[in-house]
Amino acid sequence: MLKDLYEFKEDLGKRGIFFCLSGPISQNLVAEIGTTLEQHMTMGEAGKSTVLRVFSTVVENAQNIMRYSDEREEDFSLGIIAVGYENKHYFVLCGNMVDNNKIGKLRENLTKLQNMNKDELKKYYRRKRREGPPPESSGAGLGFIDMAKKASKPIEFNFKTIDDKLSFFSMKIVI
């Protein structure tokens, strides 16, 4: 593994990824990530609004991992978050394990967002805010909608079956 670390770093670079975290995710870590991303992106001459959109997307994904990942290690939820740059756009990748029973609803919600234009997303966001959180959620269900609004193209997502209980959920948001 030690011999392959350089190749791993090179592979990330070829994919445009300049930041990657895999493992336990905590609120304190997210704050530090924000500072690092801001410094890196500002050096790359990204505008303040772009930095803010990327950071808020990272925060939303980190919160989703902390709340909903079905892979845990003691008090921490496990997942992966990566940030990169390709085709003149920043992107945020995230992933975590989900119970296979949750996939249908998650796929339905994300597909619905993929098929909405910016105006429809704004109206849907306002409506969902007024409705409040669904009973099974620890949030108002606005995170995915907010990310879709900030994205420059529809959210991409995938589910990779791991076994009969779990799948790996991955998502890409292009800013």
Backbone angles phi, psi at 74, to 5 degrees: 55, -120
- Core vs surface per residue 70-99: b (16+ CB within 10 A) or e: beeeeebbbbbbbbbbeeeebbbbbbbbbe
Query: Span 2-174: which CATH code?
Result: 3.30.565.10
Confidence category of residue 132, pLDDT binned at 50, 70, 90:
confident
Residue 172 CA: distances (Å) to CA of 4, 75, 102, 156: 26, 26, 19, 5
Q: Give 37-91 as a DSSP string.
A: HHHHHHHTT--HHHHHHHHHHHHHHHHHHHHH-S-EETTEEEEEEEEEEETTEEE
**Residues 25-84: tens digit of each pLDDT:** 988 888 888 888 988 898 888 899 999 999 999 999 999 999 999 999 988 999 999 999
Nearest to residue 55, comparing CAs of 63, 13, 12, 155? Answer: 63
| Position 140 pLDDT exceeds 60 | no
Mean pLDDT of 117-124: 97
> In whole angstroms, what is the distance from residue 159 CA to residue 1 CA?
27
Confidence category of residue 138, pLDDT binned at 50, 70, 90:
low
> In whole angstroms, what is the distance from residue 65 CA to residue 110 CA?
16
**What pLDDT, on the 0 to 100 scale, is given for residue 154?**
97
Mean pLDDT of 75-100: 97
Calculate the average pLDDT of the chain: 93
C-alpha triplet 69, 145, 83: angle, nearest 5°: 60
Phi/psi-derived region of residue 106, left when phi > 0, alpha when psi is between -120 and 50, beta in every other case:
alpha
| Position 22 pLDDT exceeds 80 | yes
Residues linked to residue 102 through DSSP beta bridges, in sequence order: none
